[in-house]
Structure 1
Amino acid sequence: MERTPPSLIHHGAREGVTGSCHQLTFSCGNALLVDIGLFQGDENPPARTSDASNDSVQLIEFDTKPIQAVIITHCHIDHVGRLPWLLSAGFRGPIYCTRATAHLLPMVIEDAMRVGVTQNRGLISAVSRTLTRQLVPVDYDTWVKIDSPDVSIRFRQAGHILGSAYVEVDSPLDNIRGDQADSKQTYRTVFSGDLGCKNSPLLPDPTPLERADMLVLESTYGDKNHENRNMRQQRLQQVIVHCVSDRGTVLIPAFSIGRTQELLYELEDMIFQCQGKMLAEGLRWRDMVVIVDSPMAAAFTRQYRAMRDLWDAEARERIADNRHPLNFARLHVVDNHAEHQRLINYLRQSADPCIVIAASGMCTGGRMQNYLKALLPDPRTDVVFVGYQAKGTPGRAIQQYGPRQGYVDLDGSRVQINAQVHTLGGYSAHADQQELIAFALEAQHLGEVRLVHGDETAQQSLAIKLRSHGVKVSGHFVPQLPQHQPGDTVANADLPL
């Protein structure tokens, strides 16, 4: 019996965490592309410059002709950031995503182009219009037939950010005996995208996996388990109390989509629960100012509020109780760049404690870099990391060298780190090792697991755990197990890892 499953090629996130892009090619020659993200940090390839516009680009270094459709799991930049160059390469097929992602994606792409590619408004608008025409919004849990013959896809809740999904791709699988076609079966390839944690604020838990002949599984935290998530708000509260006692600024680098909204949700609850208590001498909890200084974060927060029907039950109950978890009284949104500059100068000179949430989450750009350049040398400042910091990013450098009072290079300037640096692991938006294993093992049928979106240590550690449960595992950093002849004694099949 000859089995002919689709073939899988990775155009990103195979050897690292960023640049997710996976090509699934069927026996007919047609292909799907699942995500097409930007590389970041040390994974970022050398940029090319367009002779026509002097705009920096990340190349599409693969043949796009077989690509019949693109599937987007969610709209974080490391999963969608190369879309403009795919369109520039001539792709005009459908782009499938959830309804919430379709609503948010044009905003993400416009911002990414404006910050990292070009200030040409005409070009940005043209890309946005083209993208919007090609988007095909799809409901969760609904099978949709796509252009490739007999191929269907379904989005399932991933619990990572609003609209995030893992995607199931069902394609025909021919079973052939001799010259006779015996029957057609369905081969299911599942792409995890980014899986969220259980019990995260605002979002439902990931939908359990039913089955997968091939599971393409992220492994960002494949070697780690997060701190107790039920205690994370208490940990954040303790850090804020400590930070405010320094009478300085608490800086929280956070991605505009997902992490910012989760932080606001928990800060509102903290202030609500402690409103009658003192936070520090002369400052009550109810008077604590929380600043969101990111135009994109503010825009996405408004969209989160508009799409509250996608929130989990607890979040909707707060609305019913006349609480406003993403729009509370002491929340201040910085509207323009002039106000941003005035605020930085004020914080540098004053001793008024406040919490500032700004992008980017890995400190690679955005307004957070301006705060860091101004306030990292001040020992009253506290920097709180609540998300993954990729190797080669300023965020990773601050995490690594901040506790030693080292320095970080920001926008061509060397900045001394006198601030205190904190990392709260329980705030990751990615599933940890235990959750990744549980997701894979809850499937009624599981064929091979292909690990992506993780560094070497993460992939190898997760592979060892999965293999201990009898799962077949592959990946760029996952050595193949030796082949044994019948009768050989194998003491521990995981030793090569």
Structure 2
Amino acid sequence: MATLTFLGAVEGVTGSMHLLKTEHSTLLLDCGLYQGRRDEEAKNHEPLPIDVSQVDAVILSHAHLDHSGRLPILLREGYCGPIYMTRPTVELIEVLLKDAASLQERDAEWENKRRQRSGKPLIEPLYRQEEVDGVMKQCKSTRYHTKRKITQDVEINFADAGHILGSAIVEIFITENGQSKKLVFSGDLGNSQAALLRDPDIVTEADVVLLESTYGDRNHRSMEETLDEFEQVILEASENGGNILIPSFAVGRTQEIIFRLGELYQQGKLTHQKVYLDSPMAIAVTEIYHRYQDVYNEEDFDAIEESAERAHSHNQSLHSLLPILSYTTSTEESIALNKVVSGAIIIAGSGMCNGGRIRHHLKQNLWRKQSHVIFVGFQAMGTPGRKMVDGATRIKMAGEDIAIRAQIHTLGGFSAHASQSQLINWLSHFEKTPKIYLVHGEEGAKQTLCSAIKEKGWEATIPHLNETLSF
């Protein structure tokens, strides 16, 4: 009998980790960082809740750090086996993990300077660049829709989750004592209204389904309404002379926003002089997106191709849609943007404003009434982004207490996560009712989704941290 233990993304959205044991195999599904409040992030410094020596393989649903960010720690604790993922995910995690390691090394360096002055013991960063290099050596890439045997009694298949480039719905086929069982791990399912990527693949059979529930308590506004509001914010900012700041996640959201700005530009509706992508990581990720246009949906790929043809360019990329886009890679280029007081759209990370270059742009612009801040993704509890969305009038930013006079906008329709109705629609394609377990969501979202699923005549369970089920 197989067992599944819930080790993360159970009491909240981040820290995805689940342990699957079969008669002959022990598999780890995801190995993600906790993100958000300080007490949440403190869990990253605790030993992993598994016996690493017993793990035969790791299966990664996608590249976001809340699903991949503790892989270097896994290796440090002794894991030396394969890590299975899609090919785009291999490229993306190298960028994300190296950036995370760089930030952790820098933070540890600054903290140790303070500790030296006060005579306190020094600390180590969560992990270093060389540990990321070790992770990359153990990555095994797998194509979508290609069944692969990974242990004596387990085969896997990656279906397209439509969430970010390379994101996967993981289908796990278990054969024990001549009997077959199937576990489906949704990973993060994409928003079918989003740009560039295809809709999540439909899965029709499973004994057990692990389903994400990030937006289990709400439905997104229609993309048409979202784009209308997006356009209106941009026009208003143009009229009153303000800058627009868009805190954005480097993977997925940034590329979506560039595409949507490109649509407005092609329609003659974008009068800003310049769009700046001020994030070395997002720039690197955008270049990876360019290399995998074969996974784009047909309509959006055609739009990119047509804009390139109109410009007589062979560069079929997001740049062909949005020629006023500039990359700011160096620190000096980023600082120079502080002198720009109007007419700019600045896209920078982090998406929840708890780090990265966006904090310095917020410091320069939040106190200006003519400025606009557009939130285009989920804001976890305890983050600066959540505080602004919830109506804070002042906020600590880069060591200063800043008055919030800028106009704050939340455009949930840009979310890369499926909404409640999309999650239920995805579930509805299973031909026989599986056991459904809700993970990766805040308590209210899970409870609401659980009730909505029951209204459809199915049963869903909200597991507890460290709970084990048998199937």
TM-score (norm 1): 0.84
Alignment partners' CA distance in 1, 2:400 and 2:29: 38
* 1:245 and 2:230 aligned: no
SS of match in other structure, 1:194? coil
Please state how far the C-alpha of 1:467 moved relative to its aligned partner.
Answer: 1.3
Task: Report the counterpart of residue 22 of structure 1 in structure 2.
Answer: 18
Match of 2:219 among 214, 217, 225: 225
* 1:428 and 2:415 aligned: yes
Distance 1:299 1:432, change over 3 A: same
Match of 1:37 among 22, 32, 39: 32
Runs of 4+ in 1 over 4 A off after TM superposition: 117-121
Amino acid paired to 2:149: K
* 1:154 and 2:142 aligned: no
Matches within 5 A, 1:287-436: 288-323=273-308, 326-327=318-319, 328-344=322-338, 346-347=339-340, 350=341, 352-402=342-392, 406-436=393-423
Please state how far the C-alpha of 1:58 moved relative to its aligned partner.
Answer: 5.3
Q: Which runs of 5 or more structure 2 residues have no equivalent in the other structure?
A: 110-124, 309-315, 466-471
Please state how far the C-alpha of 1:201 moved relative to its aligned partner.
Answer: 0.7
Report if the CA contact (8 A) 2:172-2:182 is conserved.
Answer: yes
* 1:437 and 2:424 aligned: yes
Please state how far the C-alpha of 1:57 moved relative to its aligned partner.
Answer: 3.9
Count, aligned residues:
439
Report if the CA contact (8 A) 1:58-1:82 is conserved.
Answer: no
Note the alpha carbon deviations across 1:267-310, whole angstroms, 9 max, x for none. 011110126xxxxxxxxx35531110000011111111121112
Match of 2:442 among 455, 464, 471: 455
Task: Report the counterpart of residue 166 of structure 1 in structure 2.
Answer: 169
**Greater Cα offset, 231-240 or 164-173:** 231-240
Task: Report the counterpart of residue 70 of structure 1 in structure 2.
Answer: 58
SS of match in other structure, 1:321? helix
Task: Report the counterpart of residue 60 of structure 1 in structure 2.
Answer: 48
Alignment partners' CA distance in 2, 1:207 and 1:47: 36
Task: Report the counterpart of residue 495 of structure 1 in structure 2.
Answer: none
Alignment partners' CA distance in 1, 2:39 and 2:445: 19
Matches within 5 A, 1:474-493: 474-476=461-463
Note the alpha carbon deviations across 1:210-238, whole angstroms, 9 max, x for none. 21111000000101000012332222111
Alignment partners' CA distance in 2, 1:215 and 1:411: 43
Distance 1:248 1:317, change over 3 A: same
Task: Report the counterpart of residue 489 of structure 1 in structure 2.
Answer: none
Task: Report the counterpart of residue 136 of structure 1 in structure 2.
Answer: 140
Amino acid paired to 1:93: G
SS of match in other structure, 2:182? strand
Report if the CA contact (8 A) 1:292-1:358 is conserved.
Answer: yes
Report if the CA contact (8 A) 1:440-1:446 is conserved.
Answer: no
Alignment partners' CA distance in 2, 1:125 and 1:417: 37
Please state how far the C-alpha of 1:400 moved relative to its aligned partner.
Answer: 1.0
Alignment partners' CA distance in 1, 2:394 and 2:46: 29
SS of match in other structure, 1:342? helix
Note the alpha carbon deviations across 1:330-353, whole angstroms, 9 max, x for none. 111112001111211x03xx3x32
TM-score (norm 2): 0.89
Rg larger for: 1
Please state how far the C-alpha of 1:469 moved relative to its aligned partner.
Answer: 2.0
SS of match in other structure, 2:62? coil
User: Which is helix-richer, 1 or 2?
Assistant: 2
Report if the CA contact (8 A) 1:221-1:433 is conserved.
Answer: yes
Task: Report the counterpart of residue 86 of structure 1 in structure 2.
Answer: 74
RMSD: 2.1
Report if the CA contact (8 A) 2:238-2:272 is conserved.
Answer: no
Report if the CA contact (8 A) 2:369-2:407 is conserved.
Answer: yes
Amino acid paired to 1:470: G
Task: Report the counterpart of residue 114 of structure 2 in structure 1.
Answer: none
Alignment partners' CA distance in 1, 2:71 and 2:194: 29
Amino acid paired to 1:307: Y
Note the alpha carbon deviations across 1:27-53, whole angstroms, 9 max, x for none. 33x3111111111113753638xxxxx
Please state how far the C-alpha of 1:445 moved relative to its aligned partner.
Answer: 2.2
Match of 1:209 among 203, 225, 232: 203
Alignment partners' CA distance in 2, 1:450 and 1:287: 46
Alignment partners' CA distance in 1, 2:197 and 2:224: 15
Matches within 5 A, 1:114-133: 114-117=102-105, 124-133=128-137
Task: Report the counterpart of residue 145 of structure 1 in structure 2.
Answer: 149
SS of match in other structure, 1:461? helix
Alignment partners' CA distance in 2, 1:389 and 1:113: 23
Task: Report the counterpart of residue 467 of structure 1 in structure 2.
Answer: 454
Report if the CA contact (8 A) 1:45-1:58 is conserved.
Answer: no
Alignment partners' CA distance in 1, 2:401 and 2:356: 17
Amino acid paired to 2:256: E
Q: Percent identity among equivalent residues? A: 38
Amino acid paired to 1:15: E
Note the alpha carbon deviations across 1:105-127, whole angstroms, 9 max, x for none. 11111001111345899x74422
Note the alpha carbon deviations across 1:51-81, whole angstroms, 9 max, x for none. xxxxx94542332222111111110111111
Distance 1:165 1:43, change over 3 A: farther
Note the alpha carbon deviations across 1:435-468, whole angstroms, 9 max, x for none. 1111111111232100001111111111111112
Please state how far the C-alpha of 1:470 moved relative to its aligned partner.
Answer: 2.3
Please state how far the C-alpha of 1:254 moved relative to its aligned partner.
Answer: 0.5
Report if the CA contact (8 A) 2:153-2:176 is conserved.
Answer: no
Note the alpha carbon deviations across 1:86-122, whole angstroms, 9 max, x for none. 111111110000111112111111001111345899x
Amino acid paired to 1:469: K
